[in-house]
């Protein structure tokens, strides 16, 4: 039997350097890194409300996603607001989340990854489990693995703080070689950041520019995440 429970649950994400201190005030579970490591999920109680706590965030900081029955959402939100008052807790909007996830090189479905791109192009080949036997797409992926790809997803940091949103032209020299899939200003790093799929034959070049609103800025490829590349903040 398959039941659609979409409207039965909501999600509240508690994230940031003080997330553990806030959540621990209203949660009955030991939230230490040793007891509740990164990517772990446990059934907990927040106040008197049941919740599934999943230690992961989309912003590259310590945090938990709380999956909560809809009837408890307002209560849990108010409990967290009260618990976080001494820590100056605040709400966060999507554009801020988008800025933070770009600094961590977290990809967004529908723009950075779509059915038009494959895992090898997107740098997600580590997620392919070749040991589980045949699966939909395995034959095509095996061919891609053997033959290689013609483009790869990269992060570019602009020298100038241009407003970028996705869809901007990426130049190598005077030639347009790609367009950005997403972009935003990284407030933690002070850089405008974009993601885009570059042809593999230009990946070793250094004369990249990105054009936004009629202005071009020099840009350089960022290896890995520009913010917390050693993942110390999410693994604390």
The answer to whether 234 touches 62, Cβ cutoff 8 Å, is yes
Q: What is the spatial distance between Cα 181 and Cα 168, in angstroms, rounded to a whole number?
A: 8
pLDDT attached to residue 135: 95
Domains of the chain in sequence order: 6-92 (3.30.1360.120), 102-222 (2.40.30.110)
pTM beyond 0.85: the answer is: yes
CB atoms within 10 A of CB 44: 20
Distance from CA of residue 83 to its chain's centroid?
26
pLDDT attached to residue 101: 98
User: Would you mind telling me the total number of residues written for the chain in this entry?
Assistant: 236
Q: What are 50-104's pLDDT values in tens digits?
A: 999 999 999 999 999 999 999 999 999 999 999 999 999 999 999 999 999 999 9
Helix (H, G, I), strand (E, B) or coil at 127: helix
Q: What are 151-194's pLDDT values in tens digits?
A: 999 999 999 999 999 999 999 999 999 999 999 999 999 999 99
pLDDT attached to residue 170: 99
pLDDT attached to residue 46: 98
pLDDT attached to residue 86: 98
Q: Which residues, 6 or more positions from 126, have their beta carbon under 8 angstroms from its beta carbon?
A: none
Give the angle 205-160-182 at the CA atoms, nearest 5°: 70
Q: Which residues, 6 or more positions from 217, have their beta carbon under 8 angstroms from its beta carbon?
A: 158, 159, 160, 162, 192, 209, 210
pLDDT attached to residue 218: 99
Q: What are 115-137's pLDDT values in tens digits?
A: 999 999 999 999 999 999 999 99
Residue with tokens 């095996």: 142
Q: What would the mean pLDDT of 206-220 be, rounded to a whole number?
A: 98
Q: How confident is the model at residue 110 (pLDDT cuts 50, 70, 90)?
A: very high
HSE-up of residue 33 (Cα within 13 Å, Cβ side): 6
């Amino acid at each position: 039997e398959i039941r659609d429970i979409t409207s039965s649950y909501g999600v509240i994400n508690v994230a940031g350097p003080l997330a553990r201190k806030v959540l621990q005030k209203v949660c009955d579970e030991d939230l230490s890194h040793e007891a509740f490591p990164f990517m772990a999920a446990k059934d907990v109680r927040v106040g008197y409300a049941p919740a599934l706590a999943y230690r992961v965030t989309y912003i590259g900081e310590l945090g938990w996603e709380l999956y909560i029955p809809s009837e408890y959402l307002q209560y849990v939100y108010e409990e967290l607001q009260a618990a976080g008052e001494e820590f100056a807790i605040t709400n966060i909007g999507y554009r801020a989340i988008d800025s933070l996830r770009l600094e961590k090189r977290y990809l967004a479905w529908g723009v950075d990854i779509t059915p038009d791109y494959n895992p090898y192009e997107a740098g997600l080949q580590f997620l392919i489990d070749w040991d589980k036997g045949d699966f939909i797409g395995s034959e095509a992926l095996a061919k891609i693995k053997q033959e290689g790809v013609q483009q790869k997803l990269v992060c570019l940091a602009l020298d100038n703080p241009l407003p970028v949103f996705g869809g901007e032209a990426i130049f190598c020299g005077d030639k347009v070689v790609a367009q950005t899939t997403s972009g935003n200003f990284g407030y933690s790093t002070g850089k405008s950041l974009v993601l885009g799929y570059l042809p593999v034959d230009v990946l070793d070049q250094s004369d990249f520019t990105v054009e936004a609103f009629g202005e071009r800025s020099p840009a350089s490829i960022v290896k890995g995440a520009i913010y917390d590349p050693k993942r110390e903040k999410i693994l604390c």
